[in-house]
């Protein structure tokens, strides 16, 4: 497990080819934010122009680069320019800005790679495989029968609509209700259902 995590981390550290494109714009990642973690964050170094990367897209909020150790041809990462260690630490406005670029960027990637599908993935937390603790979204182009995920060959089980599932749904709705009542969630206007 540790070797796998190290391999994933290294994949983001070593670009495979040199870029002739313009260098990445200076970061709005203030050095020293989140207890100085941006000084060691590979994505913050890329954003500041201190580490090489193949840039696909950039705006005031986010940057999209080719993953340096891709799972498929065209595997790319959308990264916020400010350092947030996890999805839950990332402000909703930043997540929205990143997600709003997915249709635009993924369409370009699919056309450039000849793919007609893609996976959108966030590894959030160590148990989920996150090894670079700076929020990022993976766009992974796919082709039919590429056998990228071993789980695709697993038979999926039907959810049993029993007491255990009902209790889980109740616990999630309870947490959503609690979060919805917090200051940050009041302006989102979402409603919770209790079917």
Note the pLDDT of residue 33: 46
Return the bridge partners of 120, or none.
Answer: 139
What is the 3-state composition of the chain as percent helix, strand, coil, each rounded to the nearest 5?
A: 40, 15, 45
118 close to 139: Cβ distance less than 8 angstroms: yes
Question: Is residue 136 annotated as part of the catalytic site, yes or no?
Answer: yes
Q: What is the pLDDT of residue 9?
A: 41
Domain 2-146 CATH assignment equals 3.40.50.150: no
pLDDT of residue 150: 76
Q: Which of 112, 114, 113, 132 is nearest to 122 (CA)?
A: 132
pLDDT the model gives residue 113: 96
**What is the C-alpha to C-alpha distance for residues 141 and 75, in angstroms, rounded to an integer?**
6
Q: Where are the alpha helices (DSSP H) in the chain?
A: 2-13, 33-36, 42-47, 92-100, 102-113, 163-180
Determine phi and psi for 119, rounding to 5 degrees: -100, 140
Catalytic residue among 12, 75, 134, 136: 136
Question: Which tokens belong to 172?
Answer: 């999630």
For the entire predicted model, the pTM comes to 0.73
pLDDT in tens, 97-150: 999 999 999 999 999 999 999 999 999 999 999 999 999 999 999 998 888 887
For 28-59, the three-class secondary structure string (H helix, E strand, C coil) is CCCCCHHHHHHHCCHHHHHHCCCCCCCEEEEC
For residue 80, the model assigns a pLDDT of 98
Instruction: Map residue 173 onto helix, strand or coil.
Output: helix
- CA-based nearest residue to 133, from 75, 101, 72, 89: 89
Cα separation of 87 and 98, whole Å? Answer: 11
- At residue 148, the pLDDT reads 86
- Given a cut of 70, the residues of the chain with pLDDT beneath it are 1-38, 183-195
């Amino acid at each position: 497990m540790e070797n796998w995590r190290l391999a994933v981390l290294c994949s983001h550290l070593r670009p495979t080819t040199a870029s002739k494109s313009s260098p990445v714009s200076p970061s709005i990642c203030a050095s020293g934010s989140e207890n100085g973690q941006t000084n060691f964050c590979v994505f913050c170094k890329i954003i500041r122009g201190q580490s090489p990367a193949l840039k696909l897209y950039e705006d005031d909020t986010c940057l999209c680069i080719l993953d340096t150790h891709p799972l498929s041809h065209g595997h790319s990462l959308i990264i916020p320019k400010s350092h947030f260690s996890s999805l839950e630490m990332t402000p909703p406005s930043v997540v929205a800005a990143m997600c709003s670029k997915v249709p635009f960027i993924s369409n370009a990637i699919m056309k450039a790679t000849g793919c007609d599908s893609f996976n959108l993935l966030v590894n959030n937390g160590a148990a989920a495989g996150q090894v670079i603790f700076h929020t990022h979204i993976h766009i992974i182009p796919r082709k039919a029968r590429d056998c990228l995920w071993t789980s695709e060959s697993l038979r999926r089980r039907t959810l049993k609509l029993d007491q255990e599932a009902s209790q889980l749904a109740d616990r999630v709705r309870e947490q959503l209700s609690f979060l919805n009542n917090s200051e940050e969630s009041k302006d989102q206007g979402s409603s919770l259902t209790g079917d």
